[in-house]
Amino acid sequence: MNDKKFEMIFCVVNAGFSEIVMEAARDAGAKGGTVIHGRGTANKDAEEKFRITVQPDKEIIMIIVPEEIKDNVMNAIYNEAGLNTPSQGIAFSVSVNRAVGLSE
């Protein structure tokens, strides 16, 4: 049984920016990810507070990485696709309790 711990990184960006996220993640050691298309919502107060305009079409990128590289991957993603970039990305991670089918 593999005792290696994994984290799932979720990154939500404006449509068309998933490749920038994946390139940054790969450069930091991630192997690949899955992109899901979605729609974002925000109220006008949030747009004014963060000084952003919410583009409704979004891409959600899910990337499973070994726990020890999670911070490096998230920092790389934020530097290339964070809120202060045209992609207006946010990222967060959650622990993965069990994973099967992953290869090194």
pLDDT at site 49: 79
pLDDT at site 44: 74
- pLDDT 10s digits, 88-98: 999 999 999 98
- pLDDT 10s digits, 5-31: 999 999 999 999 999 999 999 999 999
Query: Residue 57, CB half-sphere, CA atoms under 13 Å: how many?
Result: 4
Q: Do 95 and 39 form a contact (C-beta atoms < 8 A)?
A: no
- pLDDT 10s digits, 55-70: 789 999 999 999 999 9
Q: Residue type for 16, please?
A: G
pLDDT at site 1: 43
